[in-house]
Amino acid sequence: MSAPPARRAGFRRTGLRRTAVLAAAAVCASVLSACDPGGSPDGSGVTRNTNATVAVPVAERKAAPDLSGTTTRGARLDFADYKGKVVVLNVWSSLCGPCAAEAPGFAKVARSTGGAGVRFVGINTRDPDTSQAVGFEERHHLPYPSLSDPTGKLLLRFPKGSLNPQLIPTTLVLDRKGRLAARLLGPVDEDALRAVIDPVVREK
């Protein structure tokens, strides 16, 4: 015996809602940047960076993988050019609200620390079209280049168990010997960023 029309319509509506929820979950999983990894206490949709920083003692640091490649603007970027510099590596996407929230602080710190031998490099991921990435860089006046990594191949060069990026945004700090010195998961404000960079800059 078939269900009454009203019940069949209810089933269809329920099925559509379930499909929409699953689709949204899939998008969230594939574009980590669009999701709030830990919930935002102020309802802004931006996760605050709490207890997400790992600093590695000098004796325990491991070399970062070679991340040389092509930037969002089509130029070649070779990490060998950063030898002897402290490098701040930020993984971001133009689809990422938290990335946009932290970008002004990154631009400011990048400009103010260049004289101390600090260099910033982005890794843009999840953006299939580099025009999206370039538009983000221009809107936020980012003064540093970003490698184009739409499928995450560069991110896969980080071995498991290392300070590998686990969500978008993630920020890594490399010491002057190219070793992974710190990792910050989630969006980072200016003060937290300086607090991680400054000790590495002071190292001899």
> 58-87: per-residue pLDDT in tens?
999 999 999 999 999 999 999 999 999 999
pLDDT over 70, % of the chain: 75
Residue 159's pLDDT band, with cuts at 50, 70 and 90, is confident
Among candidate residues 85, 92, 117, the one with its CA nearest the CA of residue 106: 92
Phi/psi of residue 107, each to 5°? -60, -45
- Please determine, for residue 27, whether its predicted confidence score (pLDDT) is greater than 50: no
Q: 96 falls in which pLDDT band (50, 70, 90)? A: very high
Q: What is the DSSP string of 144-164?
A: S-EEEETT-TTGGGSPTTSS-
Confidence of residue 24 (pLDDT cuts 50, 70, 90): very low
Mean pLDDT of 119-145: 97
The answer to whether 35 touches 86, Cβ cutoff 8 Å, is: no
pLDDT at 16: 40
Q: Which residues are CB-neighbours of 83 under 8 A, at least 6 positions away?
A: 178
* Nearest to 143, CA basis, from 120, 164, 159, 125: 120
The mean pLDDT of 185-202, rounded to a whole number, is 96
pLDDT tens digits, one per residue of 36-60: 333 333 332 233 334 489 999 999 9
